[in-house]
Amino acid sequence: MRTTVGIVGAGPAGLLLARLLRLAGIDCVVLECRDRAHVERRQRAGVLEQGTADVLRAAGAGERLDREGLRHDGIELRFGRRRHRIDFPGLTGGRSVTVYAQTEVCKDLIALALADGCPPLFHSEVLAVEDVDTPAPRVRFRRGGREEVLECDWVAGCDGFHGVTRGAVPAGVSRVHGRTYPYAWLGILADVPPSHDELVYARHDRGFALLSMRSPSVSRLYLQVPEGTKPEAWTDGEIWAELSRRLETDDDWALRRGPVTQKSVTPMRSYVHEPMRYGRLLLAGDAAHIVPPTGAKGLNLAVGDVVVLARALEHELRTGSTELLDAYSATCLRRVWQAERFCHDMTALLHRAPGATAFDDRLQLARLERVATSRAAATDLAEAYTGFPLG
């Protein structure tokens, strides 16, 4: 099998890259080890930056996004039982975010691929990425019990943190930066309308809480819990009681409760792999970087990567120059590190670390007061939350 760009992974990064390449007239093949149903139900991110939503619309994947996505013009910070709203359009010149689940993004992009007659090759387990330091890289994969080879000019590693493509970068070339946080998020999906029309980020002495949503009838909520917590360690009643406690305010706001349909624990970590390019292998999305979910940046960073990558590959096709491909890693990493900084800052701002002292608590509250009372501090948060420039 032969193509121009071999894409490993049919998450949002791989699917969007394939769509952008096809629009540019560049052949590609997407390999995905799981089946279509798994990809379309894999719960992940749900907040799209302004730039991400604009890219999806330009790629022809905006119809359902515009019909079903929930535009949010701000978030609410809660601390000391008080509420403070961050007005995104007023602080950023009109930018907003959209709540639209990653599962829905994947469904839309898969539907476009099927309409194009170029569906991802599901059930295709990538075994190795070879010869990426030559002009003729190869991807060995197993499909239907038979081993096959995909020959290509470039390989895009969009196969996530646990994928195989990053392993093709020699250890002597790789530079890894990371941090594991001493807490995690216990998350639930619940069949109940959201208790607020925008996301609520709450700092509490008992730990962080987040009120989010997936649709007008489905709520997504999170609690800070100790690292290593198992979902079954908490009953539904205990979760609702703790959410009510941490989200409580001095006014008449109340948390709505409903049936819990899904429960999971998300570890918190930061990770960056440098460089994002080695030879003819280009890493994108979680294959190259992970951020704690507090800043809602994971999916959006992946979109930024593939926009830069698609532009660079199209430039090489049109001009024969690899100038943009040569700059790919440095271009993406500027945005990646800004997102890492923002997500780390948001995490430190809102989570109570094990062993935190009264001094630590007062500093945290002072930082939140600064955001609540300073337009400059609120603007910095709003600009980062709604998205750094793509590329």
Question: Rg of the chain over CA atoms, in angstroms?
Answer: 21
DSSP code at position 348: H
Cβ atoms of 275 and 296 within 8 Å: the answer is no
Q: Among the options 12, 72, 183, 273, which is catalytic?
A: 72
Which residues lie across from 130 on neighbouring strands?
A: 138
Q: How many Cβ atoms from other residues are within 10 Å of residue 204's Cβ? A: 21
The active-site residue, picked from 196, 204, 297, 351, is: 297
| φ/ψ of residue 349, rounded to 5 | -70, -30
Tell me whether residue 181 is one of the annotated catalytic residues: no
Catalytic residue, chosen from 181, 183, 201, 328, is 201
Tell me the pairing of strands 97-99 and 82-87. Answer: unpaired
C-alpha angle with apex 329: 50 to 47, nearest 5 degrees?
25
Active-site annotation holder among 137, 183, 293, 351: 293
What angle in degrees, to the nearest 10, is found between the helix axes of 358-373 and 328-350?
Answer: 110
- C-alpha span between 52 and 302 (Å, rounded): 9
Give yes or no for a contact between 39 and 113, defined as CB atoms under 8 angstroms apart.
no
Indicate if 201 belongs to the active site. Answer: yes
Find all residues with CB under 8 Å of 211, minimum gap 6, and list them: 194, 195, 196, 199, 200, 202, 219, 221, 243, 247, 255
Residues recognised as catalytic:
72, 201, 293, 297, 385
